[in-house]
Structure 1
Amino acid sequence: MAKVTISLDSDPAIEVMLPAGTRCPQDAVELIVRDCLARGHRTEARACRAADQDRLADRRTAPEEGR
């Protein structure tokens, strides 16, 4: 996997390190980014399931046409 280098001031790096429980700013930022991505995927999956349920519910309650 390709690596990306990002420069960051020390204050935000330390603020990320403390809740992440790491001693390396790079590890802390990586954990935060991975968590953010995973949360986005979970939200997307939840939203898609809800949209599918609404779509299926509409199909079940709609009267059939042509009869």
Structure 2
Amino acid sequence: MRPIVHPMRTCVKDVYHHCVIPHIHPSQTIIRHNYIYQHQHMFPHTVRNVMGPVHQVHTVVPPTRNW
């Protein structure tokens, strides 16, 4: 008698391998140096006392004599 061949029976066994995929998320910090200008207005003022020469002319008139 001839053998009877049945369809093949299949078993599946899953095998997992870890694979690392790098994900890069770049970031940065910016340090900004800011200057605040405070304008100071100054108005220097000088007071001067100046004395110039004063000339006085004195005329001496001799007394008149009535004789």
TM-score by length of 2: 0.25
TM-score by length of 1: 0.25
**Which one has more relative contact order, counting CA pairs under 8 Å at least 6 apart?**
1
Larger Rg: 2
Between Structure 1 and Structure 2, the one with more helix by share is 1
